Amino acid sequence: MIDKHLLKLRARDDISADEEAAIRSALGETIMLPADHTFISPGTLLEHSTLVLDGIVCRYKDLSNGQRQITELHVAGDFADLHSFTLQYLDHSVMTLTPCRIVRMPHKALTAITEQYPHLTRVYWFSTNLDAAIHREWELSLGRRSAIQRIAHLFCEMQLRLSIVGLASERHFDLPVTQAVLAECLGLTPVHVNRVLKELRETGLLEFRSGRVTILDLRALRNMADFDPTYLYLERKRPR
Kindly list the residues in this chain that would bind a second copy in the complex (CB under 8 A). 42-43, 45, 59, 61, 63-65, 67-69, 71-72, 83, 85-89, 91-92, 111, 114-115, 118, 121-122, 125-126, 128-133, 135-140, 142-145, 186-187, 226, 230-231, 233, 237-238
Choice between 30 and 69, CB closer to DNA: 69
Least Å from the CB of residue 10 to a second copy: 16
Least Å from the CB of residue 216 to DNA: 16
Contact present, 50 and 79 (Cβ < 8 Å): yes
Rg (CA), the chain: 18
What single-letter DSSP state applies at residue 71?
Answer: E
Choice between 84 and 93, CB closer to DNA: 93
Choice between 29 and 239, CB closer to a second copy: 239
The DSSP string of 71-84 is EEEE-TT-BSSTTH
Exactly one of 16, 146, 203, 214 binds DNA (CB under 7 A); that residue is 146
One-letter amino acid at 177 equals V
One-letter amino acid at 193 equals V
Q: How far is it, in rounded angstroms, from Cα 128 to Cα 133?
A: 9
Exactly one of 101, 107, 122, 192 binds DNA (CB under 7 A); that residue is 192
How many residues belong to the chain? 240
